[in-house]
Structure 1
Amino acid sequence: MTYGAGQTASMLEDPPAVDGRTAARLLRSEYGLDAVVSELRSERDRNFLAAADGRRLVVKVSNTGDDADQIAMECAAMEHVAVVDPELPIPRLIPGTTGKLVTTVQAADGRAHLVRVITVLPGEVADLTALPSWFAAGFGVIGARLTRALQGFGHPAAHRRLDWDPRHVAELRPYADHLPDVRRRAPMHRLLDRFAGLDEATRELPASALHGDVTLSNLLLAEDRICGVIDFGDMHHTARVAELAISLTSLLRESGDDLWADARRFLDGYQQVLPLEPAEVELIGELVLARSAASVLISAWRAPLYPDNEEYLTSLVAGSWRILDQLGDLGATELAQRFHRICGTSRVASVPDPTLLVRRKAALGGELSPLFYRRPLQVVRGQGPWIHTADGRRYLDAYNNVPVVGHAHPAVVQAISRQAAVLNLNSRYLHPHVVELAERLVASMPDGLDTCVFANSGSEANDLAWRMARVVTGRDGAIVADLAYHGVSEATAAFSTNTYPASARPSHVAVFEAPRNAEDDGIAAAARVRAARAALRTAGHDLALLAVDSVFSSAGILTPRNDFMQGLQDTARAAGGLFLADEVQAGFGRGGRNLWRFQDFGLTPDFVTLGKPMGNGHPVAALITRREIADAFTEVDEYFSTFGGNPVSCVAALTVLDVIEESGLVARSGEVGAELRGRLEALVPDLPVRGQGLMVGVELAGAADFAERLRDHGVLVGTTGPGGGVLKIRPPLIWTAAEVARFVAAFQRAMG
């Protein structure tokens, strides 16, 4: 439904003045293809079918109302879906001879139009008079798969308003007076009154950049399956349930007396892939009505403007009125109850188990395994940037860095599931996933870091680096920052100086003061390392390893100068020690400039350790070092972790790397993090706001209490730094401007 591009001016643009001969010339000059071209029906754009080299392609010439950012978003989304769910039947983009996915053509009226060429999928557009019995459930499955595939996708151009989005139907009220049947006008105005709060009601529901038009006219059918979803032209950021309602409305227009039976079959198929939340089910009926109303309103306005295209513009009207007549007399409560019965959900939120906390303390101990928050959250599910709890609430996750590409990212989940169904075994057997992951990690490192060892956790990786450093240097002293955190093994717990008082620090560990001031330069760093080494030598030790968390997370999230970090590294090496960059919290693009935070400082560590985010929560970690260090270690010792680097963990980590690369999450972390810091600085100009990318700290008195208030407003953060006085903000890297806006709004409400 590519008419209705969000802005009225865009909807009134004439189609491009481009004919088949022009399209054929473009294919020859830009794509090197000699093609037979024929025009396809389209309302705002100009589309052509091209037969070339035994292939069938579509040449899409965009309306001038579609800007370059919008086209870029469509291309990026199609590429993203092809990676996340390769089996989803969507068209593939054909690059030109220069490798570009988008080119331009000059129309007969002198205007320039953007052009893409895509593959033609098999199958035919659905015959609306004879939909097969399997179709409704299959439609639900394919719609849910596409929604799931797009949940990790974001793009700035997605944040646009489309008149076809059912959430905004109340804004179409002026068109009600264009309805040709004057008897319909007053009831339509009353129905629009009912939708006044619909946009607000969907704001707390799962949302992302979605297709926007998964309808019957954009599906291709073969004999026994749906074999194509086409036309990404209405992509925008919307509620997941609004996307569902668009598809369901399209189906119900053709259902006749089988409306409720088809709705059940569609929703059964959908929930095989994506279970719905009760709050989403509550609004399905209202959104179906809203989409139907939008269809008749927009058609009533546009048909008189384009009388030559009236049949096409009014093709949805009869079916939409049928839905409005059948469902419109049901009140919102009764309509919601019917959909709850179909979906097997309840209007009453589920209740957390009141005995769970007592049972946990009895089985797991109290202080041994503490929980977040005074009123602990009983979590049941994560999706994208959201965490869902047993009481039916949804929280924006601004804290958990482990799901670096979002909770339950579909590509990661599918990769784990596929590999787990085939083989999971220890790494002493040859397996391609293990080798490929090691190769990709090594390739991402500076020259010289050429050897990868897999582990199950960042603690284990840091522990191994410590063992290697002791063997290679023949020494047993370590230097770390004050308030550092490097793990939970006996060795790394000794390095985690934020977990115990200075009086309890073992003699083989010395500390340097973390860089809390802009004046902390390379000279200061060198002096602090020399002082720490002197303390080690006084205690009968000498420097084997200096370990640094690249974001100084536990010290309060600090942004040191480059020369400070270089001073740490160079002074440690000059003293005969080795240098470790702990990227467990800082790595995988969180800093927003490079994949690894230490690269921002121009460092060349002897060890790099990776952990928590590597498998998006699946237990996998790594140590990358130099071959001569590894060889020296294996001459006197050995290391083997039974399931460190098993095939399932490795395929999870490979998929995380793919998603980060394909979705541009490093750059997005930088852009979104800068926006977040900028908006926080404007909101609280008197408070220190620190960080880089999507690792942000806000220092304020009563940080723990403020974190509790943020939780009450639907946002989860942590605390860190001296006395826990810094809010720790490190969300999944899939955050967009929408999550920033929601976070800042909650922050402002929590301030009172």
Structure 2
Amino acid sequence: MKFLKIIAPRFTLEEVTELAARHFALKGQIDLLYSERDQNFRLREAGGDAWTLKIASVEEDPAIIDCQIECMAHILAVDPTLPVPRVRPSVDGATTVTIAGADGAAHVFYALSYLPGQLLDEAPVTAGALAAQGAMVARLGRAMRGLYHPAPAGRELLWDVRLLPRFLAHAGKFPEPERQRQACGIIEHFAADTLPRMKALRAQLVHADVNEANMIVDPEDPARVAGIIDFGDIIHGTLVQDIATIAAERPFGDMAPLDGIVEVVRGYNAVTPLEPAEADILYDVIVSRLLLTPLINAWRAAETPDEPGYMHSWTDAVFRTIDALQDVGRDKATAAIRRACGLSTAAADDAPAGEEAQVDELIERRKRTMGSKLYVFYDPPLHMVRGEGVWLTDASGRRYLDAYNNVPHVGHCHPHVVEAITRQVRTLNTNTRYLGTQVLEYSERLGASLPGDLKVCAFVNSGSEANDVAWRMARAFTGNGGGLTMEYAYHGITEATDAFSPSGNYSGAVAPHMRTLVSPDDYRGPYRRGEPDLATRYAAHADEAIESLRQAGLAPAAFMVDSAFLTNGAPNVPDGYLKSV
């Protein structure tokens, strides 16, 4: 695999001094900089300007360097405030020149503006700084998303986490058996589960190497990113790979690894919101990306023992980070990542992490903030934290089949409904006293689904308001003031609809203008299944109620009924009952 064996150029300072003057008209103090496979130098001109001189490895494809240069120019055109290097043309106006090494091998030579600052691994670690770094990675990805270049399309890069399954045979190079088993488990899970899921994620050209040596911060303000350098690992990959790289290779100091990762994700998500599938896969991509470092170290040590092992000392530290993340576990880590993204923190069959408040504490807070008279269902009360489809999940992770709630007719959190609401709120959220096409289209569609002349809609914000308006319309149309409702009915909390809701009246008193009807229950009611004329006999109670109103000087304006008779226990209503009433 390319770059497994490091074949770095070996130009002397004297040679580079002469080459810089000849090809880029640059003169000044030259110092050698660190690089894994290229040769990098800093040149300071007498006037103070500084440049990075890069001599590429003989193994580097010139088309990849062209892609890097085009990428940096594209980024500066899209977002000029992003701190990336700019290319200095050669004296002939070219972006790169080709030079020969002592062995005659051709190397690409080019010059970039030098970005001053402090390397990330030397900067203090704070939550704010981590979030800022995550945001910068997101801005970088956003600026690169419109760029196309053919060179990275089929590139196989040593550090591309998607190639992790190829390293399975090298897990046996670790001296400790437990590390061998741990590495094999991570690789096998990645190959079987993570990699197939990555194929469905958002992908584009990505930097793929935003690590502690390639991000620069302001030493006076470490939360301000002053530069992103070294586009040499550019690939066509998923967005989560950029997040995983900075999360895997950015030291977190005394901060727990997951806490640091969460802050990076929080910053990234503020610029480019993660999709649920991206948040759900991130833990495994990060752990897998972490494992690449010791695997590559072990491979290089076995295949190229004479090469300098500058990363070998990282192996123990990386495994400690992997251990810390695996101690937390995939579920809790993913819940924390989802929470940082503002997403629900549980799957349909799980409870969100952090939702462990005791029922007594919640009841006390509820009384303090919502009043002591608001009752709750069930004893003990249920602390629900998530709904999906026909299921509700409580804080302990127990799932309940919801055969009770009548509001989400198409299931809890139906994605089509959620998307429609989100889309409209992003566009416009105001009242019907302004003209608008959306409410008219909805009225027409709703009217088309109803029989006869039921075509005119009045929009309100709750069932109580809807029933209140219906009652006012009935009174206005009939000129009457009496109402009929079912015993145990519930129709709202306004003054008008409360009179139609005897289920909430614990005193048993009925408003003077109201009369209640016996539930047409052929199982528990006065007239039972199998007896003749059930519908007529139950409907006769309406005649009695109307006569009672007449004796009080009232006539019925409306009969308000829940057609499923849910508050009456959803009885098997005799055919023809409502028509008879």
TM-score, normalization: structure 1? 0.45
Instruction: Determine the C-alpha separation between the residues in 2 that align with 1:15 and 1:302.
Output: 15
Q: CA deviation at 1:302?
A: 1.4
Secondary structure at the aligned position of 2:141 is classed as helix
2:159 maps to what in 1?
A: 164
Structural mapping, 1:15-26, within 5 Å: 15-26=8-19
1:249 maps to what in 2?
A: 248
Instruction: Determine the C-alpha separation between the residues in 2 that align with 1:112 and 1:154.
Output: 27
Q: Is the 8 A contact 1:103 1:115 kept in 2?
A: yes
2:67 maps to what in 1?
A: 73
Residues 162 and 311 from structure 1, CA distance in 2 versus in 1: closer, same or farther, beyond 3 angstroms?
A: closer
Match of 1:153 among 142, 147, 150: 147
Residues 351 and 105 from structure 1, CA distance in 2 versus in 1: closer, same or farther, beyond 3 angstroms?
A: same
Residue 152 of structure 2 is aligned to residue 88 of structure 1: no
Secondary structure at the aligned position of 1:254 is classed as coil
Deviations 1:147-192 (CA, angstroms, capped at 9, x unpaired): 1111111111121122312233222112212223343112211221
Match of 1:264 among 254, 262, 265: 262
Q: CA deviation at 1:125?
A: 1.1
1:219 partner letter: M
Residues 243 and 256 from structure 1, CA distance in 2 versus in 1: closer, same or farther, beyond 3 angstroms?
A: same
Residues 356 and 111 from structure 1, CA distance in 2 versus in 1: closer, same or farther, beyond 3 angstroms?
A: closer
Deviates further, 316-325 or 99-108: 316-325
1:200 maps to what in 2?
A: 196
Residues 182 and 354 from structure 1, CA distance in 2 versus in 1: closer, same or farther, beyond 3 angstroms?
A: closer
Match of 1:326 among 321, 324, 327: 324
Q: CA deviation at 1:254?
A: 3.0
Q: CA deviation at 1:341?
A: 2.5
Q: Is the 8 A contact 1:105 1:112 kept in 2?
A: yes
Match of 1:139 among 112, 116, 133: 133
Instruction: Determine the C-alpha separation between the residues in 2 that align with 1:229 and 1:219.
Output: 5
Secondary structure at the aligned position of 2:112 is classed as strand
2:301 maps to what in 1?
A: 303
Q: Is the 8 A contact 2:28 2:45 kept in 1?
A: yes
Instruction: Determine the C-alpha separation between the residues in 2 that align with 1:354 and 1:247.
Output: 32
Residue 233 of structure 2 is aligned to residue 234 of structure 1: yes
2:491 maps to what in 1?
A: none
2:415 maps to what in 1?
A: 351
Q: CA deviation at 1:296?
A: 1.2
1:40 maps to what in 2?
A: 33
1:430 maps to what in 2?
A: none
Instruction: Determine the C-alpha separation between the residues in 2 that align with 1:163 and 1:350.
Output: 42
1:201 partner letter: R
Deviates further, 186-195 or 333-342: 333-342
1:104 maps to what in 2?
A: 98
Deviations 1:701-749 (CA, angstroms, capped at 9, x unpaired): xxxxxxxxxxxxxxxxxxxxxxxxxxxxxxxxxxxxxxxxxxxxxxxxx
Q: Is the 8 A contact 1:136 1:265 kept in 2?
A: yes
Match of 1:113 among 107, 111, 114: 107
Q: Is the 8 A contact 1:254 1:319 kept in 2?
A: no
Residues 37 and 264 from structure 1, CA distance in 2 versus in 1: closer, same or farther, beyond 3 angstroms?
A: same
Instruction: Determine the C-alpha separation between the residues in 1 that align with 2:264 and 2:33.
Output: 30
Deviations 1:350-392 (CA, angstroms, capped at 9, x unpaired): 62129969977734867xxxxxxxxxxxxxxxxxxxxxxxxxx
1:277 maps to what in 2?
A: 275
Instruction: Determine the C-alpha separation between the residues in 2 that align with 1:246 and 1:355.
Output: 31
Residues 350 and 12 from structure 1, CA distance in 2 versus in 1: closer, same or farther, beyond 3 angstroms?
A: farther
Residue 215 of structure 2 is aligned to residue 219 of structure 1: yes
- Give the length in aligned residue pairs: 358
Q: Is the 8 A contact 1:11 1:44 kept in 2?
A: no
Instruction: Determine the C-alpha separation between the residues in 1 that align with 2:342 and 2:302.
Output: 44
Instruction: Determine the C-alpha separation between the residues in 1 that align with 2:418 and 2:263.
Output: 36
Deviations 1:465-515 (CA, angstroms, capped at 9, x unpaired): xxxxxxxxxxxxxxxxxxxxxxxxxxxxxxxxxxxxxxxxxxxxxxxxxxx
Structural mapping, 1:524-539, within 5 Å: none
1:17 partner letter: R
Residue 362 of structure 2 is aligned to residue 362 of structure 1: no
CA RMSD of aligned residues (A): 2.5
Instruction: Structure 1 unaligned segments of length 5 or more: list them.
Output: 1-7, 367-752
Residues 350 and 268 from structure 1, CA distance in 2 versus in 1: closer, same or farther, beyond 3 angstroms?
A: farther
Secondary structure at the aligned position of 2:259 is classed as helix
Structure showing greater radius of gyration is: 2
Deviations 1:300-357 (CA, angstroms, capped at 9, x unpaired): 1113555566452224323321221012355544442332233221346862129969
Structural mapping, 1:539-618, within 5 Å: none
Residues 309 and 123 from structure 1, CA distance in 2 versus in 1: closer, same or farther, beyond 3 angstroms?
A: farther
1:58 maps to what in 2?
A: 52
1:190 maps to what in 2?
A: 185
Instruction: Structure 2 unaligned segments of length 5 or more: list them.
Output: 349-412, 422-436, 446-581
Q: Is the 8 A contact 2:6 2:307 kept in 1?
A: no
Structural mapping, 1:688-699, within 5 Å: none
1:14 maps to what in 2?
A: 7
Instruction: Determine the C-alpha separation between the residues in 1 that align with 2:443 and 2:103.
Output: 74
Deviations 1:201-228 (CA, angstroms, capped at 9, x unpaired): 1111111001011111111121112101
Instruction: Determine the C-alpha separation between the residues in 1 that align with 2:185 and 2:121.
Output: 35
Q: CA deviation at 1:239?
A: 0.6
Deviates further, 356-365 or 120-129: 356-365
Deviates further, 261-270 or 125-134: 125-134
2:512 maps to what in 1?
A: none
Q: Is the 8 A contact 2:121 2:213 kept in 1?
A: no
Secondary structure at the aligned position of 1:216 is classed as coil
2:547 maps to what in 1?
A: none
Instruction: Determine the C-alpha separation between the residues in 1 that align with 2:419 and 2:187.
Output: 46
Deviations 1:244-273 (CA, angstroms, capped at 9, x unpaired): 11111123x434452232223222211221
Residues 342 and 9 from structure 1, CA distance in 2 versus in 1: closer, same or farther, beyond 3 angstroms?
A: closer
Match of 2:118 among 116, 124, 146: 124
Instruction: Determine the C-alpha separation between the residues in 2 that align with 1:60 and 1:355.
Output: 48
Secondary structure at the aligned position of 1:217 is classed as coil
Q: Is the 8 A contact 2:2 2:158 kept in 1?
A: no
Q: Is the 8 A contact 1:221 1:227 kept in 2?
A: yes
Using CA pairs under 8 Å that are at least 6 residues apart, name the structure with larger relative contact order, 1 or 2: 1
2:379 maps to what in 1?
A: none
Residues 350 and 121 from structure 1, CA distance in 2 versus in 1: closer, same or farther, beyond 3 angstroms?
A: farther
Q: Is the 8 A contact 1:255 1:262 kept in 2?
A: no
2:38 partner letter: D
Q: Is the 8 A contact 2:7 2:59 kept in 1?
A: no
Q: CA deviation at 1:280?
A: 0.5
Instruction: Determine the C-alpha separation between the residues in 1 that align with 2:2 and 2:201.
Output: 30
Q: Is the 8 A contact 1:140 1:270 kept in 2?
A: yes
Deviates further, 35-44 or 83-92: 35-44
Q: CA deviation at 1:32?
A: 1.8
2:448 maps to what in 1?
A: none
Structural mapping, 1:443-522, within 5 Å: none
Instruction: Determine the C-alpha separation between the residues in 2 that align with 1:145 and 1:75.
Output: 18
Secondary structure at the aligned position of 2:232 is classed as coil
Q: CA deviation at 1:87?
A: 0.4
Q: Is the 8 A contact 1:246 1:291 kept in 2?
A: yes
